[in-house]
Amino acid sequence: MGWLRLFFLHPVSLYQGSAFPFALLFNYLCRMDSFSTRARHLFLLAGGGALALAAMGSFAVLVFIPALGTVVLICSLGPQEVHRWTFFFQMSWQTLCHLGLHYTEYYLQEPPSMRFCITLSSLMLLTQRVTSLSLDICEGKVEAASQDIRSRISLSEHLCKALPYFSYLLFFPGLLGGPLCSFQRFQARVQGSSSLCPRFSFWAFTWKGLQILGLECLTVVMRRVVSAGVGLSDCHQLQCIYVMWSTAGLFKLTYYSHWLLDDSLLCAAGFGPEFGESPGEEGYLPDADIWMLETTHRISLFTRKWNQSTARWLRRLIFQQGRAWPLLQTFAFSAWWHGLHPGQVFGFLCWAVMVKADYLIHTSAKLFIRSWLMWLLYRTLTWAHTQLIIAYIMLAVEGRSLCSLWLLCNSYSSVFPVVYCILLFLLAKRKHKVN
């Protein structure tokens, strides 16, 4: 099952690549005074509709319907009600679509359509934009159009007021990937003066292109290594650890390449960090911080840096709202958002436990480790342990099915999370006694 998720990213990358000329065209047109704000919204919306139809085919309607429903709710409800209802509507719709995937994979025992997988991925990104927008409205950061929806104005005026929301939810640079772009940043870019439009940087895009090319070459090499070896079903003892590490490495390289491409597309359209920030808005956050992800010895830091914009969105949506067990709530919601496959439920709950253990382990280490030699040894061991635990979690989440999860749990790879679980129990017990 994990291979399906891995390879569906490549068709998405092809569609993202085909959108580059239109992103550059949009950036160019924005420098013209004659290219009005309404024309910009329509360009982004039309591009999103065309890209959705090209990538998803008839399944695109599964993205159009919740986008329409969200706009209707935003224009019909008060600021304090809009988040609760849009969240319920969007997550219910996404869950129904994920249940369709469950039915195809587990009941019919058939591989799902590639277009349907792309649609589900786009729906997950749409959920981010919907909930981000509804939270902004609820917190007063964005003024909703609801106050005029019941007044006696024409249909065309209603549509004009709703156009920015439609455009934001379906704009083509963020439809299939990319860091989460807030509605404030989106509006600032679309409504910005032509003289303030960011310029195209040839060298910056060349550097990103070289990075993507290098990652793709590494991916090809890694795929051959993984394909030439045995899988979890055929490995024995310590060999299973190597299989886990190499397979997770292939997953990570694929995600890094995909995230860099998504980031480049947003920057090409002018939604990147060079555009600046609106007052009160969080800064632009790319998804990939490869150096930090590959060198950190802390699971908690890896968690914050992995898919950074999504991590920040989850922190705002769930963690900061949760009163009891916010960490567990955040990872449980992440499993729900990803589709509630058995491997995902196990993987994300395991991840939550590992983060909790990470906090206690490193807090205790700071109290007991004094010499620099011991600290160096400690960092080296915890780095290796962190990377292996992340690989374990990644295989559980990407494998998804009970069969893959069973193979993973019965392998020698399970030693690494078990060690952290034991340390969590011992350190939590010691902390309780001290308190």
**Does residue 365 sit in the same domain as residue 330?**
yes
Q: In which band, very low, low, confident or very high, does the pLDDT at 248 lie, cut at 50, 70 and 90?
A: very high
| Active-site position among 307, 362, 385, 432 | 307
First-last CA distance in the chain: 46
CA atoms of 212 and 254, how far apart (whole Å): 10
pLDDT for 351 equals 97
pLDDT at 280 over 50: no
Q: Which residue has the higher pLDDT, 62 or 432?
A: 62
- Which pLDDT score is estimated for 146? 61
Q: Are 171 and 291 found together in one domain?
A: no
**410 shares a domain with 295:** yes
Q: To 10 degrees, what angle do helices 372-399 and 2-18 make?
A: 90
* Number of H-type helices and E-type strands within the chain: 18, 0
Q: HSE on the CB side for 201, CA within 13 Å?
A: 15
| Residue 192: predicted pLDDT | 77
Q: Do 128 and 229 belong together in one domain?
A: no
Using CA atoms, how far residue 230 sits from 163, 246, 266, 414, in Å, is 53, 11, 39, 18
257 and 403 assigned to the same domain: yes
Regarding whether 236 and 146 lie in a shared domain, the answer is no
Boundary residue ending a domain (196, 220, 242): 196
**Angle at 183 (CA atoms; ends 180, 184), nearest 5 degrees:** 115
pLDDT tens digit sequence for 179-214: 999 999 999 889 876 655 666 667 777 888 899 899
pLDDT digits (tens, 9 = 90+) for 297-331: 999 999 999 999 999 999 999 999 878 899 999 99
Instruction: Quote the CA–CA distance of 369 and 373 in Å, as a whole number.
Output: 9
Residue 234 binned pLDDT confidence (cut-offs 50, 70, 90) = confident
Q: Minimal CA–CA distance to 173: which of 309, 15, 6?
A: 15
Q: What is the pLDDT of residue 225?
A: 87
Q: Are residues 188 and 103 in the same domain?
A: yes
Residue 69 to residues 43, 84, 155, 162, 169: CA-CA distances in angstroms?
21, 14, 17, 12, 11
Residues 164 and 39 in one domain: yes
The pLDDT, as a whole number, for residue 16 is 85
Tell me, what DSSP letter sits at residue 192? S
pLDDT of residue 368: 84
Q: Tens digit of pLDDT for each residue in 129-186?
A: 999 999 999 998 888 766 554 556 667 777 888 899 999 999 999 999 889 999 999 9
Which residues lie closer than 8 Å to 268 by C-beta, 6 or more apart? 20, 23, 24, 27, 173, 200, 205
Query: Within this chain, do residues 220 and 184 fall inside the same structural domain, yes or no?
Result: no
Is pLDDT at 247 greater than 60 in this prediction?
Answer: yes
Is 435 among the catalytic positions?
no
SS3 244: helix
Does 239 share its domain with 130?
Answer: no
Maximum Cα–Cα distance for the chain, whole Å? 75
Of the pLDDT bands very low, low, confident and very high (cuts 50, 70, 90), residue 18 is confident
> Which of the residues 258, 338, 341, 385 is marked catalytic?
338
Domain that holds residue 91: 2-196
Q: Which of 196, 222, 253 is the last residue of a domain?
A: 196
Question: How many domains does the chain divide into?
Answer: 2
pLDDT at 21 > cutoff 50: yes
pLDDT higher than threshold 90 for residue 429: no
For helices 402-409 and 342-368, angle between their N-to-C axes, nearest 10 degrees: 30
| pLDDT at residue 279, as a whole number | 45
| pLDDT above 90 for 35 | no
Burial of 322 (C-beta count, 10 Å sphere; 0-12/13-18/19+): middle
User: With 50 as the cut, is the pLDDT of residue 1 above it?
Assistant: no
Q: How far apart are CA 22 and CA 18, in angstroms?
A: 8
Is-catalytic flag, 83?
no
Residues 123 and 37 in one domain: yes
Q: Considering the chain, what percentage of its residues have pLDDT values greater than 70?
A: 90
> 143 with 228, same domain?
no
Q: Is the dihedral of CA 259, 264, 269, 274 positive or negative?
A: positive
What average pLDDT does range 54-78 have in this prediction? 94
Q: What is the structure's pLDDT at 309? A: 93
In the numeric block, the tokens 């005026």 are attached to: 157
What is the model's pLDDT at position 158? 74
- 10 Å CB burial of residue 200 (0-12, 13-18, 19+) is middle
Share of the chain above pLDDT 90, in %: 61
Residue 233's pLDDT band (cuts 50, 70, 90): confident
Residue with tokens 């924005």, as numbered in its chain: 30
Q: What is the CA radius of gyration of the chain?
A: 23
CB distance 75 to 146 below 8 Å = yes
Domain end: 161, 196, 231, which one? 196
